[in-house]
Chains A and B, each alone.
Chain A
Amino acid sequence: MTISPVSILSARFDVEDAHLLAVAREQGAYATLDTLFDMTPDDVTEEVKNSGLRGRGGAGFPAGIKWSFLPKDTGKPVYLTVNADESEPATFKDRYIIVRDPHLLIEGIIICCYAIGCHDAYIYIRGEYTSQYEILRSAVEEAYAAGYLGESVAGHDFSLQLTIHRGAGAYICGEETALLESIEGKKGQPRSKPPFPAVVGLYGCPTIINNVQTIASLPYILANGAAAYRAYGTEKSPGTHLFGISGHVERPGMYELPLGLPLLGVIDEVAGGVWRGRGLKAVIPGGSSTPVLTAEEAATVTLDYESMAAHKTMFGSGGIVVLDETVDMVRVVENLIQFYHHESCGQCTPCREGLGWMEKLVRKLLAGEGSHADIDLLLELCDNIEMKTVCVLSAACTMPVRSYLVKFRHEFEACVTEHSAAAQPAQNLEAAP
């Protein structure tokens, strides 16, 4: 079979200066506003539900259903916060939308806000995205000047204010309740749920949090209908996705593809295959938090939510990382644990201390000072940290780490046996933080 990219979300990505309103409009931006206000908000929600669009931040929750969790007539304002805190290692899709077609995002925001009855929306963009922020800000200013935002959106009786809020270097703010805390002027420490943000969210008001790519998918659905969107992908994973392919491939980059394609086919035909003529060792399917697939498992998986679940991993954020045969899995695990330990917000002890403990154990193995018991201890720590914290950051570390420990245990064992002359008896107490 031949796999070729499609252009639903990325239709204007290669148009020069599509970040400028005049160019974007010439290419069809904001066209859905001509008919949007003839529909009722419930009709819009229904169309999105029918499209089967799932949240593209990583969790894959159906977007239209999420919207319908908003309580009616609370007397409080409803907020939309767009999650542009894209920080999951291997994920860089939202940046493409922000830079190449920010008006697609703004159009999507207008559609969503009309559907959920929101008049104040926020985009939370990670602080590291500097020039990206400037492009987005100019686009928002142009949209205000053209009357797409403000007191009367496109001349209709609907007001919408849109504010960009910059983060300042915290992965955890991509967790939706930490994001809300951050906008409220607090440390990014996640809240206990329930209550869920749809009921008690930003400033204590009903709030919808959607990923950039989810929102950017709305104009196509509105313009072409749910059935047209469903023509792509599979029944349970409809539509297209921006896949970011990185690591050891010949042509790393961003590719829009329908869901449901075979992973290896995509790596070979779209990304040019494993680099330097090397063999494939493993693939991280959807961002660093998703359990790793061996080359053998990668051969049977397809890029959709169900197939990933059947392979005991997750679809995640569409950030695919290819690992060639030379990769030292113990060093990969060290790299990942260091990331999550650094990004722990510090609120929950198992995460704050436990991830640091795991980091020390892996370093001990790499230094040739570890024992077989340390490998078991790492697995035990995974069990004792996971789901024992307010949010899933710790699980985002332990789930993949466990997968490397189980599937590539021999590499961890080799750290012990190769240094057997120098090996110390297990001294787990000393490894405690």
Chain B
Amino acid sequence: MSDRSQLLDAGRPFAFDETREAEFTRLEPRYPERDSLIMPALWLVQEQQGWISREAMEYVAERTGAYHAQVFELATFYTMYHLRPPGKHHICICRTLSCYLREKQLLVDWLAANLDLVPGAVTEDGRFSLEEVECLGHCGSAPVVQVDGVFYEDMDEEKLGALIEDLRSEAI
């Protein structure tokens, strides 16, 4: 999410679950230097926990042998690492040129009007969070929206409304 200035505590320690442990172990011999494992490890944390807490960063430092500061540095530099919990469904709208030209602003406005959701925020019920992001590499099918990692191309307000309705009707 957009505020990258602070590390948050989860209030509980972090450790990889079995799946993530197996993936980390698979990756270890693929790099001649252990610092290279920091980014993959941060991805595994985010996959498991949804975001990256201070405790998890310290865990990654322990597992890779890096200084805490180096892990903090990477987690804050790379904008896809969530430093606070996003909504249950994280919506990214591409704001860069081709999506801008194909009227992505209509989508941003639709979310503001219908979900009271603005970029950088999470809805009150915690269901949705929104981020305006830079070019997502789907310019030929602009405007593009990415929800929980899945791409939705050639979007308009109607398709966005239907998508939100689908996500809403999922059991909590």
Contact = CB atoms under 8 A, between A and B. Distances in A.
A402 interface: no
Interface in B64-98: 64, 66, 70, 73-74, 77-81, 95-98
A245 interface: yes
A252 B140 CA distance: 5
Interface stretch (A31-39, A63-71, A82-90): A82-90
B81 A168 contact: yes
A280 B108 CA distance: 27
A232 interface: no
Nearest to A275: B102
Contacts of A91: 135, 137, 139
Contact of A165 (B39, B64, B151): B39
Contacts of B145: none
Interface string A106-139: 0000000000000000000011111100000000
Interface string B136-154: 1111111000100111000
Contact of B142 (A95, A252, A331, A336): A252
Interface in B31-63: 31-40, 42-43
Contact of A92 (B64, B100, B133, B137): B137
Given A168-B81, A187-B74, A335-B100, A129 B137 contact: yes
Contact of B77 (A86, A126, A187, A246): A187
Interface residues of B, number: 45
B30 interface: yes
Interface in A173-202: 182-188
Interface string B6-47: 000000000000000000000100111111111110110000
Interface in B116-172: 133-142, 146, 149-151
Contacts of A187: 73-74, 77
A247 B35 CA distance: 41
B138 A321 contact: no
Contact of A169 (B38, B80, B138): B80
Given A246-B142, A247-B101, A203 B134 contact: no
Nearest to A326: B101
Interface in A67-105: 86-92, 95
B35 to A, nearest CB: 3
A203 B138 contact: no
Nearest to B64: A185
Nearest to B142: A246
A203 B32 contact: yes
B1 to A, nearest CB: 12
Residue of A86, A92, A288, A327 with most chain B CB atoms under a 10 A cut-off? A92
A128 B100 contact: no
A323 B39 CA distance: 38
Chain A interface residue bracket vs B: 35 or more
Contacts of B31: 163
B134 A343 contact: yes
A131 B78 contact: no
A266 B37 CA distance: 45
Contacts of A169: 78-81, 133
Contacts of B38: 185
Contact of B80 (A127, A131, A343): A127
Nearest to B135: A89
A284 B101 CA distance: 13
B33 A323 contact: no
Contacts of B66: 185
A171 interface: yes
A57 interface: no
A367 interface: no
B79 A168 contact: yes
A186 B139 CA distance: 29
Contacts of A12: none
Contacts of A92: 137-140
B139 A244 contact: yes
A164 to B, nearest CB: 9
A131 B39 CA distance: 18
A161 interface: yes
A375 to B, nearest CB: 21
A166 B42 CA distance: 11
A87 B137 contact: yes
A277 to B, nearest CB: 17
A178 to B, nearest CB: 11
Nearest to B36: A185
- Ranked nearest first, the 10 interchain pairs of A and B with the lowest CB-CB distance are A185-B35, A168-B78, A169-B80, A246-B139, A130-B149, A169-B79, A246-B98, A89-B135, A168-B80, A163-B30
Given A167-B78, A182-B39, A339-B96, 16 more contacts: A91-B137, A95-B138, A126-B137, A128-B136, A166-B43, A168-B78, A184-B33, A185-B66, A185-B70, A245-B140, A252-B141, A253-B140, A319-B139, A321-B97, A321-B98, A335-B100
17 contacts: A89-B98, A89-B135, A89-B139, A92-B137, A128-B137, A131-B151, A165-B36, A169-B80, A185-B34, A185-B70, A187-B77, A188-B78, A244-B140, A246-B139, A284-B97, A321-B97, A335-B96
Interface of B: 27, 30-40, 42-43, 64, 66, 70, 73-74, 77-81, 95-98, 100-102, 133-142, 146, 149-151
Interface of A: 86-92, 95, 126-131, 161, 163, 165-171, 182-188, 203, 244-248, 252-254, 284, 288, 319, 321, 323, 327, 331-332, 335-336, 338-339, 342-343, 345
